[in-house]
Amino acid sequence: MGKFAVLRDLLVEEGIASVSNLHEPPPATRTQLLRVHTPDYVDAFTNGTLGRDAVRRIGLPWSEGLVRRTVTAVGGTVRTAELALEHGLACNLAGGTHHAHPGFGSGFCIFNDLAVAAADVRHRGLARRVLVVDLDVHQGDGTAAALAERDDVFTFSMHCGANFPSRKVAGDHDVALDTGVGDGRYLEVLADALPAVLTRVKPDLVLYDAGVDPHRDDRLGRLELSDGGLARRDRQVIDLCRDAGAAVAGVIGGGYHADLRTLADRHATLHRAAAARWAKEHR
């Protein structure tokens, strides 16, 4: 939990984040959550009446503070999507809770911010077609389940095949990579797959889950990416999507390391790539 504040402070130190471009989002409303999640689940979590097994599946002990943090993070991704559609590019300091299903949470994910934001901007007519690009090391099973019946939101997940969740939920375009694939092959597969998906979907908005758990030193990752590999990945995704005419809303996704400064530095890779693209577009 502590990584979010450390990330904010690091980006302020680097001059990427400031009072002029930091936005405090409103919490996601019940109406927004219900665009994806079932009423029984939303109410049970917010009221603290989830059963023991449901809490265990999430992996986090319930508290009122966790409720506030959860709905604020989802609201942050909704606000990020709005800002991206307005300005072309925006990034959240949290987000990427892609294991949350419509009726239950899983894998430290309670409400699915990616699915909620996609459904919400579509409901309000802010975007015609939305693409979720999920490059967390784990497959975005909850996002795939939440958006399975929609033809206006498309999911693309590139992940380690031999990793959580053990039972994947098929999305629109899934790429399962071998363990230990490394920078070169990873970036080669991404460069081949993503342009084809962009051409097929023609999204107005891309929600980009830039999880850093594919890193070779991540506790839960198995893809052996380096710092430089993550940086090239984020630049590649942002450039391809912006060159295709899509707005890009980035979220930080998963990342697991004992040293929070090291972890925040990895997550900042997304924001550095976004800042570089922003400077290029506004020079």
The chain-wide mean pLDDT, for the chain, equals: 97
Helix (H) or strand (E) run with residue 194 in it:
helix 182-201
Nearest to 248 by CA among 257, 258, 235: 235
Alpha carbon distance 210, 212 (integer Å): 6
Give the pLDDT confidence score for residue 138 in this predicted structure: 98
Confidence band, pLDDT 50/70/90 cuts, at residue 221: confident
Model pLDDT for residues 80-90, shown as the tens digit of each residue: 999 999 999 99
Nearest to 38 by CA among 101, 97, 112, 103: 103
Model pLDDT for residues 75-123, shown as the tens digit of each residue: 999 999 999 999 999 999 999 999 999 999 999 999 999 999 999 999 9
Helix (H) or strand (E) run with residue 131 in it:
strand 130-134
Which pTM value belongs to this model? 0.97
Rg of the chain, C-alpha, whole Å: 17
Model pLDDT for residues 188-204, shown as the tens digit of each residue: 999 999 999 999 999 99
Give the pLDDT confidence score for residue 97 in this predicted structure: 98
| Structural domains of the chain in order of their starting residue, each with its CATH number | 3-281 (3.40.800.20)
pLDDT at 126 over 90: yes
pLDDT at 258 over 90: yes
Residue 150 carries which side chain, given as an amino acid letter? R
Give the pLDDT confidence score for residue 1 in this predicted structure: 80
Alpha carbon distance 106, 18 (integer Å): 34
Give the pLDDT confidence score for residue 31 in this predicted structure: 98
pLDDT at 145 over 90: yes
Give the pLDDT confidence score for residue 242 in this predicted structure: 98
